Amino acid sequence: MTEPILLKGARFVLTMTGQGVLEDADIRIEDGRIAGAGPLRKQRGDEVVDCRRCIILPGLVNCHTHSSMVALRGLNDDAPLGEWLKSMWEVEGELTGETASLASEMAFLEMVRSGTTSCLDMYEAFEAAKAADRVGIRMSNGPAFLSKFNAPEKTFKDTERFISEYKGHGTIGPVVNVHAMYTNSPETISKAAEMSKAHDVPFHIHCSETREEVFECRKERGKLPVEELDSLGALWEKSILVHLGWASSWEFKRMHERGASAVHCPSSNLKLGTGGFFPMKDLLSQGLRVGIGTDSAASNNSLDMFREMKEASLVQKGQYWDASAVRAMDVLKAATVTGNSILGTDAGRIEAGAQADLVLLKIDPVLLPLRKYTLPSALVYSATGHLVKGTMVGGEWVCLDGTMKNGKDLAGRYEHLTDKVQGALL
């Protein structure tokens, strides 16, 4: 058990609860959870952190990424999608073992440094889990079903092993990761869905990202991808479908009926020019759970969720010709409350009892003038992850003033990792 922490004197606290924004407030953390928020007195044994000239908000959840692909950042940027994918497959084959683990650690350090406390990852699950443990970030992951690289039988075994190793772990959550419908047989998808239900863990899949994928599915299987997933039993409350720029309105309705969640990766979709459109405004009004993801550092190229929230909001405003289509608070909710709900974490709001997954942000001139009612828009439209002073996961600082949870310098570690990963891939 660690000492209670008192975050003292924050100028603003964005609670993401009915309490809205608190001013000049304190937060006490005990046993990894929030014990209270508001004007609080220091108690004996409290470790006090001075938060004056700071904002505190719930930690951000990156609902879709491929952490180890940070090693491929910049590779073949601006190439057409097909060519880009081909180059990714070629190098990804080499991104295994320790190199993958170190690359994942780079990604996780970048995430916690920019305010992300939790992520849903795909690829190299065992290596990424070691890296996530080193960094202290929450991570959901699982071996990926991708018949091009692994026989499904092996992936089923590996997934079982991952689930038994990590189910009940404090910060690492197992997931049944299915790369996509076009890279797996219907039998594999169906069995993988059964596995996710049997273990009560999320089923995570790329879906309807490109027009080619959608119409190939319709031609080969007689159904659109979400319809086909449903017929394979893969659409349930813990299904997480990513991208969906080419999904139809009736497929979204089906997802809603089944309680499945959608993840929007606006920067990746725009950068790869996949076309289509993710109708976040309509999905939110229908009550579908929508999270936000950066996708990999190779297709974004940033893992900064502040930037991603802004992108998500702007894309909707532009497409709908409506400045209020998706507001700052909508994307903040998607990146905190809903993101945690999708991943099954009791966090994303600042109130007594919630997990203490928090971000401490410096009040920088780019946010000024700052008032209580402008706080959400300042966070979405003006802030970037560079303003993050500290990130806390389950009551533990995983990054504070440039220092990692083990007391080492974050920038120095990142540089060291970069050298090792680049050296291994050359």
Partner 1 sequence: MFSGGKDSAFALHRMLLSGFEVPVLLTIRSKDPSSPLFHTPGMEASHLFEGLTSIRTEVVEGPDDPDKEQEVLTKAFRDLKDRYDLDAVCAGALLSDFQRMRFSEAALDAGLICYAPLWRKDGGRYMEELLSFGLDYMLVSCSSAGFLPEHLGKVMDRDLLERLMDVSAKWGSHPAFEGGEAETLVLDGPLFPRALEVKGTVMTEGEHNARFKIEEAVLK
Q: Provide CB contacts within 8 A for 97, sequence distance 6+.
A: 127
Stretch near partner 1 under the rule CB under 8 A, chosen from 6-14, 34-42, 133-141, 245-253? 245-253
Q: Tell me the number of residues near partner 1 by CB under 8 A.
A: 19
Q: By CB under 8 A, tell whether 211 contacts partner 1.
A: yes
Q: Give the nearer residue to partner 1 in terms of CB position, either 185 or 249.
A: 249
Q: Give the nearer residue to partner 1 in terms of CB position, either 321 or 373.
A: 321
Query: Edge-to-edge strands of the sheet including 261-264?
Result: 144-145, 176-178, 203-207, 239-243, 261-264, 289-292
For residues 81 and 21, give the distance between their C-alpha atoms in angstroms, rounded to a whole number.
42
User: Angle formed by the axes of helices 97-113 and 125-135, to 10°?
Assistant: 40
Q: By CB under 8 A, tell whether 319 contacts partner 1.
A: yes
Q: Are 276 and 297 a contacting pair, CB within 8 Å?
A: no
Q: What is the dihedral of CA 272, 382, 118, 67, to 10 degrees?
A: 30
**Least Å from the CB of residue 264 to partner 1:** 14
Q: Are strands 261-264 and 289-292 parallel, antiparallel or unpaired?
A: parallel
Q: Give the nearer residue to partner 1 in terms of CB position, either 275 or 402.
A: 275
Strand partners, 241: 205, 262
Which one of residues 87, 248, 286, 382 is an interface residue with partner 1 (CB under 8 A)? 248
Q: Give the nearer residue to partner 1 in terms of CB position, either 320 or 381.
A: 320
Look at residue 20 and give its three-state secondary structure: coil
Which one of residues 149, 182, 320, 414 is an interface residue with partner 1 (CB under 8 A)? 320
Structure tokens at 378: 């300042």
Q: By CB under 8 A, tell whether 120 contacts partner 1.
A: no
Q: Give the nearer residue to partner 1 in terms of CB position, either 100 or 224.
A: 224
Stretch near partner 1 under the rule CB under 8 A, chosen from 18-26, 54-62, 213-221, 390-398? 213-221
Strands (E), 150-220: 172-174, 176-178, 203-207
Stretch near partner 1 under the rule CB under 8 A, chosen from 7-15, 22-30, 148-156, 277-285? 277-285
Q: By CB under 8 A, tell whether 194 contacts partner 1.
A: no
Query: Edge-to-edge strands of the sheet including 116-121?
Result: 60-65, 116-121, 138-141, 172-174
Q: By CB under 8 A, tell whether 182 contacts partner 1.
A: no
Q: By CB under 8 A, tell whether 187 contacts partner 1.
A: no
Q: Give the nearer residue to partner 1 in terms of CB position, either 243 or 281.
A: 281
Look at residue 374 and give its three-state secondary structure: helix
Which one of residues 18, 321, 373, 407 is an interface residue with partner 1 (CB under 8 A)? 321
Q: By CB under 8 A, tell whether 224 contacts partner 1.
A: yes
Phi and psi for 183 in degrees, rounded to 5? -110, 10
What residues numbered 278-307 form the site for partner 1, per CB under 8 A?
Answer: 279, 281-282
Q: Are 44 and 85 a contacting pair, CB within 8 Å?
A: no
Q: By CB under 8 A, tell whether 250 contacts partner 1.
A: yes
**Least Å from the CB of residue 215 to partner 1:** 5
Look at residue 110 and give its three-state secondary structure: helix
Residue 186: asked if its preceding bond is cis (omega within 30°), the reply is no
**Least Å from the CB of residue 269 to partner 1:** 14
**Where are the alpha helices (H) located in 259-398, listed in sequence order?**
266-271, 280-286, 305-320, 328-333, 339-343, 375-377
Q: By CB under 8 A, tell whether 87 contacts partner 1.
A: no
Stretch near partner 1 under the rule CB under 8 A, chosen from 110-118, 247-255, 337-345, 402-410? 247-255
**Least Å from the CB of residue 211 to partner 1:** 5
Interacting residues with partner 1 (CB under 8 A): 211-212, 214-215, 218, 224, 246, 248-250, 275, 277, 279, 281-282, 319-322
